[in-house]
Amino acid sequence: MEPRLDEAGKCGGLLGTRRDLGLSLGDCVCLTTAACAGAVAVTADQRWKELDGLDLQGVRVEVLR
């Protein structure tokens, strides 16, 4: 159960500190899950291009299109 608590804490931290990016709770859950799994968050949301190069807890983002 601890890993899930850790993910929830990271998600809350991301949501609380990066509101300037317009991230929703769902966005933060997706980004945190990808980071914890060592995966790439893939999206078609063009706003996420702004995330490229930012330090978001090791999150890697790929924007389609």
Segments making up each domain of the chain, as ranges: 2-63
pLDDT at 61: 85
Single-letter residue type at 9: G
| Predicted structure pTM score | 0.76
Single-letter residue type at 34: A
| Confidence band of 32 (pLDDT split at 50, 70, 90) | confident
Asked whether 20 and 42 are in contact (CB, 8 A), the reply is no
Question: How does pLDDT run across 36-63, given as a tens digit for each residue?
Answer: 888 888 989 888 887 766 666 677 888 8
Asked whether 7 and 33 are in contact (CB, 8 A), the reply is yes
Residue 44 phi/psi, 5° resolution?
-105, 0
pLDDT top residue among 21 and 5: 21
